[in-house]
């Protein structure tokens, strides 16, 4: 990545970006409908960024109803040159403890019925995109380097299981995901990642482990617990984002 304009997609717990000096808000209309909200342009660590809350600025859009195509199309046409997606996940393997952050390097898609490609209508030819490495290696390494430089305890790789939601998983489903090689589970990783690849936007995820996945912790998963863990981790997320942006 040689350009400085970065997009940050905020997930659960990041509907606003603290420290962002807002310069303007831009309402975008796309061929795929309306994005989750206006794009917020501003300066973070002295660099231009564009912020978008994935679930809407009031957190009212569930994962399976996010208009991923409109969001990614809007960011591309706003002129950004890379996307960092912040996402809350459940921890499956032992190192994915709540309040840590992780930078996945692989993803498995378990979603269904979502509009998952830009290449499905009015085609002159069939288009296949390479998705061997679903996250941009250079952008991932910038995030990893930023975390290391400020001493943030981050997991530097892992496989993200993208499930349909909005319900959480059963313990048996989590056992299956682990057998499949997954380290964390979330509901927004796909088709967001592949849509960015189709539009040639470098894309990486900063995953916030919000809770132990079903059957991995004690008792049932509560939203109070999830929100508490996300709030505790968000300071590290912001510092990593700021440090990453400073290096662009």
pLDDT for 157-202, tens place per residue?
Answer: 999 999 999 999 999 999 999 999 999 999 999 999 999 999 999 9
Q: What is the pLDDT of residues 209-230, one digit of tens each?
A: 999 999 998 888 888 899 899 9
**Non-local CB neighbours of 50 within 8 Å, separated by 6+ positions:** 5, 6, 7, 8, 39, 40, 41, 75, 78, 80
Which is more confidently placed, 53 or 4?
A: 53
Binding site, annotated residues for phosphate: 12, 54-55, 188
What is the C-alpha R_g of the chain? 17
Q: Residues annotated as binding site? A: 12, 54-55, 187-188, 211-213
User: Quick one: pLDDT at residue 123?
Assistant: 65
Taking the CA atoms of residue 132, residue 135, residue 138 and residue 141 in that order, the dihedral angle to the nearest 10 degrees is -120
On whether residue 208 sits in a domain, the answer given is yes
Answering whether pTM is above 0.85, one says yes
Which residues belong to the annotated binding site for substrate?
187, 211-213
Summarize pLDDT for 8-22 with one digit per residue, the tens.
998 665 655 667 788
pLDDT exceeds 50 at position 43: yes
**Is residue 81 domain-resident?**
yes
Q: Is residue 45 part of a domain?
A: yes
Please, are residues 49 and 78 in contact by the beta-carbon 8 Å criterion?
no
Quick one: tokens of 181? 């090689």
Q: What is the CATH number of the domain that holds 58?
A: 3.40.50.1580
pLDDT at 1: 36
Band (pLDDT 50/70/90 cuts) for residue 47 is confident
Residue 120 has pLDDT above 90, yes or no: no
| Domain boundaries, position 38 | 6-246
Judge whether 42 lies within some domain. Answer: yes
Q: Would residue 1 count as lying in a domain?
A: no
Domain count of the chain? Answer: 1
Looking at the domain assignment, is residue 133 inside a domain?
A: yes
In the chain, DSSP assigns E strands to: 6-10, 21-26, 39-44, 47-53, 83-91, 101-102, 106-109, 154-155, 159-162, 184-186, 203-212
């Amino acid at each position: 990545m040689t350009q400085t304009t970065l997009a940050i997609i905020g997930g659960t717990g990041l509907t606003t970006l603290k420290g962002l000096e807002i310069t303007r808000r831009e309402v975008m209309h796309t061929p795929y409908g309306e994005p989750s909200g206006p794009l917020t342009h501003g300066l973070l660590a002295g660099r231009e960024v564009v912020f978008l809350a994935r679930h809407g600025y009031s957190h009212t859009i569930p994962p399976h109803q996010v208009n991923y195509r409109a969001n990614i199309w809007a960011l591309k046409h706003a002129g950004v040159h890379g996307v960092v997606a912040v996402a809350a996940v459940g921890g499956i393997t032992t190192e994915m403890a709540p309040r840590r952050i992780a930078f996945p390097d692989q993803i498995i898609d378990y979603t269904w019925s979502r509009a998952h490609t830009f290449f499905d209508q009015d085609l002159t030819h069939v288009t296949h995109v390479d998705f061997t490495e679903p996250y941009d290696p250079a952008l991932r390494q910038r995030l990893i380097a930023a975390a290391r430089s400020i001493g943030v305890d981050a997991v530097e790789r892992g496989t993200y299981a993208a499930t349909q939601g909005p319900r959480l998983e059963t313990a048996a489903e989590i056992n299956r995901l682990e057998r499949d090689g997954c380290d964390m589970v979330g509901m927004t990783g796909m088709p967001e990642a592949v849509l960015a690849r189709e539009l040639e936007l470098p894309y990486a995820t900063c995953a916030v482990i919000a809770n132990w996945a079903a059957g991995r912790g004690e008792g049932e998963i509560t939203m109070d617990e999830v929100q508490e863990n996300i709030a505790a981790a968000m300071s590290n997320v912001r510092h990593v984002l700021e440090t990453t942006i400073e290096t662009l």
